[in-house]
Amino acid sequence: MSRILITGGAGFIGSHVADLLVVKGHDVAVVDNLSTGRREFVPPEAQFFRYDIKSSHASELILDWRPQIIIHHAAQMSVQVSLGNPVLDAQDNILGSLNILQAATRVQVRKFIFASTGGAMYGDAAPIPAREKDTPRPESPYGIAKMAVEHYLHFYHRQHGIVPVSLRYANVYGPRQNGLGEAGVVAIFIEKFLQGQQPVINGDGLQTRDFTYVGDIAAANLLALAYPEAGTFNIGTGRETDILTIYQHLQKLTASPLGPQHGPAKPGEQRRSSLNADLARKKLGWEPQMNLEEGLAHTVAAFKHR
């Protein structure tokens, strides 16, 4: 059993990772400033510290608590916010990450797992589904910051011996998600349907994403803990689903009579996205378990009970 610090562990994905690690018997601490996360998402067995990852409180905590492993999920996670405010994005996503990494080297953590992006990493020119060896061409400051941290991880690996694993998530959906993230559309549509309002589809709704269930993402983190080497892995289903299809599934699951309504397309929005996860399959033994229909049903049920 290991001492594991999870940054962003009060957030959507981080809290599912925290839940799983607690169940597996690890000693877990969470650092989160609750900017989008919620205290009640943190499992009661985990210690909680309300600190900003950019602060000396967070770095001093690492020196005191001495985690063996850090799982880094805290981030400004909105692509839209990053487009409007690249400086703010870089402060959290680059400088915040460096603050955590600097402290991590001082206590010589043996593993550093990083919540990177596949959805916002490859850009429109990459083949579908994208592989890790395809050239990243991130189209947003958010994606650029994630790519920069992956490069920093390489530096910390070479210079300081930290073993990094970057997990390039596809568009993650599931219970506890909010409308801000890369698969935010699922949460936005469910909330609208449950309030009896009609969600608006941006553009024709035929833009695609690789929707991956949060339980499968948490499982990838668990497998990454056991992986002995440094690595960068796509974590996605390889399946493209368009927004209109998501709309139709959610309309059915919420028994809404409201058919699709289209608004203007978002300028610059990526048209297609999907990740080839063969490398994660081969090296981590990861395989997505949840199919989309079932995962959406779980998500709707969780939102109803909120």
Q: Which of 43, 119, 129, 143 is the binder for ligand NAD (CB under 6 A)?
A: 119
CA distances from 174 to 17, 66, 181, 215 (A): 13, 31, 12, 8
The answer for residues whose C-beta is within 8 angstroms of residue 223's C-beta and 6 or more apart is 280, 284, 285, 286
CB of 178 to ligand NAD, least distance (A): 6
CB of 245 to ligand NAD, least distance (A): 17
Q: Which stretch binds ligand NAD (CB under 6 A): 113-121, 129-137, 155-163, 193-201?
A: 113-121
CB of 163 to ligand NAD, least distance (A): 19
Establish if 209 lies at the interface with ligand NAD (CB under 6 A).
Answer: no
Total of chain residues touching ligand NAD, rule CB under 6 A: 32
Q: Output the six-digit token pair for 61.
A: 């905590």
Residue number, 148 or 258, with CB nearest to ligand NAD: 148
Catalytic residue among 142, 169, 173, 213: 142
Q: Which of 117, 208, 251, 256 is the binder for ligand NAD (CB under 6 A)?
A: 117
Residue number, 1 or 151, with CB nearest to ligand NAD: 151
122 annotated active-site: no
Spell out the SS3 assignment of the chain.
CCEEEEECCCCHHHHHHHHHHHHCCCEEEEECCCCCCCHHHCCCCCEEECCCCCCHHHHHHHHHHCCCEEEECCCCCCHHHHHHCHHHHHHHHHHHHHHHHHHHHHCCCCEEEEEEECCCCCCCCCCCCECCCCCCCCCCHHHHHHHHHHHHHHHHHHHHCCCEEEEEECEEECCCCCCCCCCHHHHHHHHHHHCCCCCEEECCCCCEECEEEHHHHHHHHHHHHHCCCCEEEEECCCCCEEHHHHHHHHHHHCCCCCCCEEECCCCCCCCCCCECCHHHHHHCCCCCCCCHHHHHHHHHHHHHCC
Q: Output the six-digit token pair for 221.
A: 């983190």
Residues 154-193 within binding reach of ligand NAD (CB under 6 A):
169, 171-172, 178, 181-183
Q: Output the six-digit token pair for 41.
A: 């998402």
Establish if 141 lies at the interface with ligand NAD (CB under 6 A).
Answer: no
Whole-angstrom distance, CA of residue 189 vs CA of residue 124 = 25
CB of 54 to ligand NAD, least distance (A): 6
Q: Which stretch binds ligand NAD (CB under 6 A): 114-122, 128-136, 151-159, 283-291?
A: 114-122
Residues 9-68 within binding reach of ligand NAD (CB under 6 A):
10-14, 32-37, 52-54
CB of 196 to ligand NAD, least distance (A): 26
Establish if 92 lies at the interface with ligand NAD (CB under 6 A).
Answer: yes
Q: Which of 29, 48, 69, 73 is the binder for ligand NAD (CB under 6 A)?
A: 73
CB of 200 to ligand NAD, least distance (A): 20
Q: Which stretch binds ligand NAD (CB under 6 A): 75-83, 125-133, 254-262, 298-306?
A: 75-83
Chain residues that interact with ligand NAD, rule: CB under 6 A = 8, 10-14, 32-37, 52-54, 73-77, 92, 96, 115, 117, 119, 169, 171-172, 178, 181-183
Q: Which residues are catalytic?
A: 142
